[in-house]
Amino acid sequence: MTVFPLPKTRPIMRALRPGSTVTIGSTSYAAEASDYSGTTLRRLDEPAVVEYFTWEDIALLRESGRWQYTPPPAHNNTPATTSIDLTLLSPSERHRVVFLGRILTAIYELECQSKVTLTDEGLAKALEEVVPNITKGLINQQFPVRQLRFGDHIAVPQPPSTRSIRRHYRKFVRSGLDLRVLARKRQAEKCTSNFEPEVEDLIQAGIREFGKLGGSDARAVATNTRGMIKKTNAAREADGLSALTIPSLRTIERRIAQLDPFEMIALREGIDAARKKFASSGLGIQEMAQFPGERIEIDEWEVDLRTHFSRIGLLQRLPREIRDQIPQGRRWLYAIIDCATRCILSLLVVDRPSAEAAMRALRMASVDKTDYARAIGAQSSWSFCAGFSMVCADTGAAFVSTDFSSAVNSLRATMLHPPVKIPEMRGHNERFFGNLSQNLMPHLSGRTFHNPVARGDYPTEERTALDDEDLTRVLSLYVIDYYHNRPHRSLNGQTPASRWRELEEQFAVSEPADIHTLRAALGVEFSRVPSKKGIELFSHHYSCEALRQLWTKGRKAALRVKADPADIGAISIEIDGKWETAEAVSAKPLYGVSLSEWTEKFRAIKQRHAHEAELSEPIRTRAVEEICAIDKAARIRASVLPGEPSHKQIQAIQANLFNGTSFRTGPAILETPADDFFGQRIMLPEEHLEVPQDTGPIAAPTGAEDEQNSPDDTDENDWGFDDE
């Protein structure tokens, strides 16, 4: 297959939102300013130090797993204490949160249409309307491939009471429909104030004046509020009373920053204006998105084409009697479209719909796909990816599942479900699937048509010619080279690719989730017991500083672990209510190596060294080098084809193939290598006076240091490979 060279494109400018933090290695930064060449970051441990990173540097840091991006809260009213990740909750608590969130979202949609009142009677009537639809989705999730039968056991959660709805509803809406505010708090929050009640009253009066005056100068309002308290103190002293505590300017400014936007608009313009401003037009998600990633739509579609369920590239050269024995049928397609630009962010062909397939599509939408475009021979790049604000989907079993909803929330996005049986509420993806059906499918053999009347006497089974690889490549080439570069009617004749570039220059693109966030949100979960060498998974040992500290404290219970099948260079471990990244302890970095590649290579190693329960490090090093030497294009093409193992199958592979075999590292949990320096340090004027003399090039590590930091303490002659 001929691979066409891709045109050179300028580095993609990302938008690091104000209030976001970046962690590079062990150093944390605050986002400052960005331009077309790179971004400026200020160190949090040394605020006087500012460093400049080019977008090329950042791309290398992302690939090596050393870039971690933490966006600010998705909504101004999200409580600062709401830092819990839904993936850290127990399965029962996640089910409760997602189920309650779906009910509250449905009630919010009804309130936007003025069809519900928040009284006991109004909420009871609303529950009678929304609960059956939500329950139907849960039943479809439990029985996704067949209809209900007599005797089936259905697990349906008990709906909340009207009192529970009122207790959670307002904070849920004010947080921007953030599911995290519905999670039970692990510790009771302190509700006491450090100020006297009279001081609190004066602060609230000053804040209300801030809302009435328009809120143009928070410092002036804080100063006036302090003046009011001082005048009150003067009057109290004249009466022989003790003086009140005077809060600082910063304290009052923080109170102003926590104001509810709805209340502020109500103070300035009236309650009617506030309702009009914050109510959703239509059913709440039809507004035009302004920048890439603000709103995306995900949907599934059974392809109007019959194909061979295989990956045989030379299918047409096989005898007819062999081809007839290969199973045939229709595949499913997952697509994610950006509503602002109509660009396709993800295109995934799968065996059948599932929450795991939808989560794979989310991951694909979060990464640059230019390597995949080059692998299939596309002439255009496919670099479209962004951080998401809203994810819209129908109520299919894959999208209402707890795992998918939790993953969307962990990516700092809001999950929205348009009402059922109104496809125009998610019309962008519906029109895209119609585009494929009308413009692409007529040119392919084995078309099934959308109904028997349209099909007529067309011999679909006899004309089935494409296999899984053909279907995936045809759909991808159509999107990358044709659809993205074709004038779009809803964009006033502008192409989706051109629209993306225009909005990128105007607004920039929100920084997508880093590989650590993607792994914690979308990865496969395991339960592993740590040892002196760390966590063993896929016959690798993984270690980090938090795990070493946990081991020294004597805590040796099983830990929750998440792994990304697309990159096993590191894993995420839940330690003290937080996902910690543990890198593989290996002389050869494993970043970029997928589980499918390692599984295939490990099977060959296991057959060759079946008698050894512990293998030497050079064996693994050579295996990783062989994986990296394989044509990258072939690996990328294979990773997007149907037939990828499910989460249960991956857990079975770990339990059967990798169980009982490991590679020798060190006697204890090893130190991770020091971080290399990226970026240019911007020296302040006073720092120029202390610049040391040139000491020559940085010295290479000595042999003793190599021996101390090497994860392999075995002799080179003991590595066990047979002579070739």
Residue 712 has pLDDT above 90, yes or no: no
Q: Measure the CA dihedral 692/694/696/697, to 10°.
A: 60
More confident residue, 649 or 476: 476
Question: Residue 362 above 90 pLDDT?
Answer: yes
Q: What are the residue ranges spanned by the domains of the chain?
A: 86-182, 197-254, 295-510, 532-663
Check whether 337 has a pLDDT greater than 90: yes
What beta strand segments (E) does 371-521 contain?
A: 390-392, 414-416, 509-510
Q: Which CATH architecture best describes the domain 295-510?
A: 2-Layer Sandwich (3.30)
Whether residue 693 is predicted with pLDDT greater than 50 in this model: the reply is no
Q: What average pLDDT does the segment 297-302 reach? A: 91
Judged on CB neighbours under 10 Å (0-12, 13-18, 19+), 60 is middle
**Looking at 131-135, 609-613, 622-626, which range is the least confident one?**
609-613
Using only C-alpha atoms, what is the Rg of the chain?
Answer: 29
CA distance 490 to 388: 22
What is the model's pTM?
A: 0.66
Look at strands 344-350 and 332-338 and give their pairing. antiparallel
Packing angle of the helix pair 355-365, 515-522 (nearest 10 deg): 170
User: Any alpha helices (H) in 426-566, and if so which ranges?
Assistant: 427-435, 452-455, 468-477, 496-507, 515-522, 545-552
Model confidence at 319, pLDDT cuts 50, 70, 90, reads low
Q: Tell me which DSSP letter residue 524 carries.
A: E
Q: What is the pLDDT of residues 370-405, one digit of tens each?
A: 888 888 888 998 989 988 888 998 888 888 888 898
Q: What torsion do the CA atoms of 94, 96, 102, 106 make, to the nearest 10 degrees?
A: -160
Q: 241 in helix, strand or coil? A: coil
152 is written with which tokens?
Answer: 């089936």
pLDDT beyond 80 at 510: yes
Instruction: State the pairing for strand pair 509-510/14-15.
Output: parallel
- Tell me which of 131 and 209 has the higher pLDDT: 131
CB 225 within 8 A of CB 199: no
Phi, psi (rounded to 5 degrees) for 233: -65, -40
